[in-house]
Amino acid sequence: MTETPANPQPAHVPTLNIANVLTTLRILMVPFFIWALVADEKEYGLMRWVAVAIFAVAMYTDKLDGDLARSRGLITNFGKIADPIADKLLTGSALVMFSILAELPWWITIVILVREWGITLIRFVVIRYGVMAASRGGKLKTVMQAVAIVLYLLPWTHTLEWLGVVAFIVMLLTLAVTVVTGLDYLLKAWQLRAAATRD
């Protein structure tokens, strides 16, 4: 997902701005996304397509709010905190729902969630020493998670066997990248803390 830069918040930037409104909207979309999946009851019909549409719109707001925040100088402390939380809520709810619906093994969901929320927590812990910028691997992980989730959301994935196999392979690759980049962030956090304590 889009990760906002860590520039200090200018005093004149209001918290209530278009970028933060979009971030908040993304959070508010999560319950409706979950509702659409529950309402579908594994029929893979209209409500499943509604879930696909909600996820697609939410992902677009993720890109849009980051672009607006950077281009218009709307970076705020609220945005720095709320944006990654919104991303994790959206992707996390999708993975949990897939597992509840028996479409995805729980161990995959658990590993990804532990990595995502664990690294988010570590970012907040080490922020006193400096900011861990998003790496290329982290950005690749974000794209792969979005692709994997969309594949699992599509009704066709659960009616066409070959597409289901493709979706599972993509999810396994996503899991691998998620774990590897998580370990990389742990190393960066340790190096950041070590460098700060030496100064």
- Rounded to two decimals, what is the model's pTM? 0.85
- Residue 137 pLDDT level (bands cut at 50, 70, 90): confident
> Residue 199's pLDDT is what?
60
pLDDT digits (tens, 9 = 90+) for 168-197: 999 999 999 999 999 988 888 888 877 777
Burial group, residue 47, by CB count within 10 angstroms (0-12, 13-18, 19+): middle
Predicted local confidence at residue 74, as pLDDT: 72
Contacts of 81 (CB under 8 A, 6+ apart): none
6 versus 184: which is more confidently predicted? 184
Given this model, what pLDDT does residue 66 score? 77
Angle at 178 between CA 88 and CA 84, to 5 degrees: 25
